[in-house]
Structure 1
Amino acid sequence: MQIPITNDACQADDVVSVRNPLPTESLLIDALAPRVADWSIQRAIVVSPGRAQVAGFLTQSLPIISTIAWYQDLFSATQARKELDERVIVECSSDLPEGEVDLVAIPLLKRGEAELSRDLLQQAHQRLANGGYLAASVDNPKDQWLHGQMQRLLDKVTCHRTDGGCVYWGCKSNSTIKIKDFSCKFVFRGEDGTHLQAYSRPGVFSHRRVDVGARQLMRSADIEPGNNILDLGCGAGTVAIASAVQTDGRVFAVDSNARAIECTNVGAQLNDLQNITSILNADGQLTFPVDIDLVLANPPYYGNDAIAQHFVDVARRALRPGGALLVVTKRPRWYAEYFEDRFVDTAIFESSRYFIACGRKP
């Protein structure tokens, strides 16, 4: 089974294939079914936290020219591609596809990230042609927040409330709205005292700040000049950036989140670092032009062991013999057991409120 290489909360929660629509997606399909034929739709974008069954519904129900199921995460996009009508275009990128469309459909989760939702709703409005429709749903029957966001974007919003959640839709009549930039540039201190710059966006793990776990990883890494390093699940790239200033070797930053890769690339440019290579990857099948001396990993601290196991297995394959793996975690016992037959010179030590598990590849 493939597991996403990311520390993003929403993606890590959704590693199991969802063949039935998520409740929020079912709500949107049910609301669109009696209406969408009257909306003159030729091109549509569907943003989905699941498997984009709304896109399949549109393709099968309408003589539509183009339906794009958009994902920020490559793992989710790959899983959706396996289950969707082949006429649906599945795209993974950091932003919604360019070009005017007649419908953007966005099923949201009540546990989702508010700033990312605002960003996507704003982009949806920008992509709509005048007269096009924005439709959004949420699995919260008491919702007020999404209703307010839709009212900021559209002159008239229709609301359909059910016991399972709310659906809103409206027609774009005003092409000018105040555009908010949700990205963030911030400064953090490297372990050698250097002030470094980072760039993050909604949907990327630890937006606007250095994660405490990532900080412990930076403090624990013993980087030698010339080391080639792999940052597995790089997020906004803070660990990769902090590592790259300490070595003349190569630093490879890997994540399944397209925005994470974008942020890491921007961060490398801000710090004028030429030795960082960012890789969008979801299956862990990686090859490198140099031997990897050190892998630094910050997997999700929750969920089942499959995610942690995937990170460790990918790291072990990537390392040269004698190369080291450092993982930051809040679950040291599992790593102690899993490292036992796979690494030598293993150790686990406490760092702030976290633990660092380390070992060398035989």
Structure 2
Amino acid sequence: MSDLPPLPSEQLLIDHLASSTRSSLASAIVMSPGRGQAANALAAAFPNSKTTSWFVDLHRAERAREVTSEDVHVICQPDLPDTRWELALLPVLKTGEAEMNRDLIHQSWQRLTIGGELIAAVNAPKDTWLLNQLQALGPKVRCHDHATGRVYSVRKSSETFKPKTFDAEFTHRVDDRILTVHSRPSVFSHRSIDRAAAAMIRHVPIPIGSTVLELGCGNGAVAMAAAVRSQTGHAYAVDCNSRAVQCTERAAAQNQIKNLTAIVNHDGELPDVPPCDIALLNPPYYGDFRIAEHFMVTAAKKLRSGGEAYVITKQTDRYLEYDWWPLEMTDRKTAQSYDLLRFIRE
């Protein structure tokens, strides 16, 4: 990972910093969708500054630590630290999540000192979307055009801007209960229950007393349903996104679900999770199947002998290409427009 180049929008920021006439800097925060190399550029240019590289995703944070200077503080948490910064850097991907970027614009602006500066870049030479978001902050936005994108800078002059919340709350039925689900930008299936998750809730049996592990819990809807149905058992909801875990914890508390534990994890090492009866997997389709492989390997490690792993997918052929020992596929059925695969651990 050390030789991975910066994302295009982050490279724009690095180049912009190299041409900056700024002579001093006390504190800065970088909100990167990549590896946070802009934080290294800041630390090199201003060795006495307090530079923080923030990530919502633990996997990205750990990969960033591999390439980040010791002078940079790398953190993973649901929101930006509640402190003041002189400078905020936001690399925006033209294919990125709009609500997440708006959320970060508002949060970083709220935390800037008066006179502090927000610099954002996007890998879209004809961008108007990011410009509009920054203009809504109030002060004049300076635009720097480049062949590969645009860099914008805006300086805070007052505290009059009112930040918006992009959190969502909605309900769904599980048997005879109506459960409230919380969601935030960057959490999988923000503002709704994913169709695959709904199919898993509908079709996977959860016996009373079961210990259940969900890998990639997202907003926690599946894990909460499992906890409700297991009654005297326990559900463990795992995700590398710290906001997903936060949302799951909030919803479990609101729904008074006591038998659910949410865990931020990216490497599958789960020492506090006991041997499980059931593992629930709804892997994302990006990542060239590596995330699905990771989920399957983790499920095999955490299931007891005779335990079941259920996978909801439209990529059944990919699962048939692998030997998943000690997991063995024993059933395949259609669940709405998906395949529901059942594996037994030897």
Match of 1:209 in 2: 192
Task: Provide runs of 4+ in structure 1 moved above 6 Å.
Answer: none
Give the direction of change, closer, same or farther, for the CA distance of 1:298–1:36 in structure 2 (3 Å limit).
Answer: farther
Aligned to 2:103, the other structure's residue is in SS state helix
SS of residue matched to 2:79: coil
Match of 2:260 in 1: 276
Partner of 1:135: 119
- Matches for 1:141-152 after TM superposition, within 5 Å: 141-152=125-136
- Distance change >3 Å, CA 329–CA 37, structure 1 → 2: same
Report the counterpart of residue 60 of structure 1 in structure 2.
44
Name the residue aligned to 1:6. none
- 1 or 2 for the larger relative contact order (CA 8 Å, sep ≥6)? 1
Other-structure match for 1:12? none
- Which range is displaced more, 228-237 or 305-314? 305-314
Corresponding letter in the other structure for 2:257: L
* Structure 1 residue 264, shift from structure 2 partner: 0.4
- Distance in 1 of aligned mates of 2:138 and 2:70: 32
Taking the aligned partners of 2:21 and 2:293, their CA distance within structure 1 comes to: 44
Q: Which is worse superposed, 344-353 or 243-252? A: 344-353
Question: Which of the numbers 265, 270, 273 marks the counterpart of 1:286?
Answer: 270
Question: What residue in structure 1 maps to residue 12 of structure 2?
Answer: 27
Aligned to 1:81: 65
The yes-or-no answer on 1:223 pairing with 2:182 is no
Aligned in 2, Cα 1:359/1:35: closer, same or farther, shift over 3 Å?
same
Contact kept, 8 Å, 1:154 with 1:174, in 2: the verdict is no
Q: 1:282 to 1:170 in 2, by over 3 A?
A: same
Cα deviation for residue 345 of structure 1 reads 5.5
CA contact (8 A) 1:340 1:346 kept: no
Gaps of 5+ in 1: 1-15
CA–CA distance in structure 2, aligned partners of residues 331 and 209 of structure 1: 22
| Contact 1:46/1:106 (8 A) holds in 2 | yes
Structure 2 residue identity aligned to 1:138: V
Residue 84 of structure 2: aligned partner: 100
The answer to whether residue 265 in structure 2 is matched with residue 308 in structure 1 is: no
CA distance in 2, matches of 1:26, 1:342: 44
Equivalent residues in 2 for 1:341-356 (5 A)? Answer: 341-344=325-328, 346-356=330-340
Aligned counterparts of 2:237 and 2:62: Cα–Cα separation in 1 = 20
Is residue 2:318 matched to residue 1:334? Answer: yes
Taking structure 1 as reference, are residues 250 and 100 closer, same or farther at Cα in structure 2, changes over 3 Å only? same
Provide the residue aligned with 2:177 in structure 1.
194
Provide the rounded CA distance (Å) in 2 between the counterparts of 1:44 and 1:350.
51
Could you tell me which residue of structure 2 aligns to residue 7 of structure 1?
none
Conservation of the 8 A alpha-carbon contact between 1:295 and 1:315: yes
Quick one: structure 1 residues 181 and 18, their matched pair in 2 at CA, closer, same or farther if it must change by over 3 Å? farther
RMSD between aligned alpha carbons?
A: 1.4
- Cα drift, residue 305 of structure 1: 2.4
TM normalised by structure 1 equals: 0.92
Unpaired segments ≥5 residues, structure 2: none
Deviations 1:25-62 (Å, cap 9, x if unpaired)? 11111122222524x42100000011111100010011
Per the TM alignment, residue 244 of structure 1 is displaced from its structure 2 partner at its CA by 0.9
Separation in structure 2 between the aligned mates of residue 353 and residue 183 of structure 1, nearest angstrom: 29
> Given the superposition, is the C-alpha separation of residues 91 and 302 from structure 1 closer, same or farther in structure 2, using an over 3 Å criterion?
closer
Whole-Å separation in 1 of the counterparts to 2:21 and 2:187: 33
Distance 1:117 1:26, change over 3 A: same
| Partner SS state of residue 269, structure 1 | helix
Task: Give the % identical residues.
Answer: 43
Would the aligned equivalents of 2:17 and 2:41 in 1 still touch at CA under 8 Å?
A: no
The answer to whether 1:240 aligns with 2:223 is yes
Structure 1 stretch displaced more, 244-253 or 18-27 = 18-27
In structure 2, the residue matched to 1:264 is 248
Query: How many Å separate the matches in 2 of 1:71 and 1:195?
Result: 33
Q: Distance in 1 between matches of 2:323 and 2:203?
A: 18
Kindly provide the amino acid, as one letter, of the partner of residue 19 in structure 1: L
Q: Is contact 1:19-1:83 (8 Å) kept?
A: no
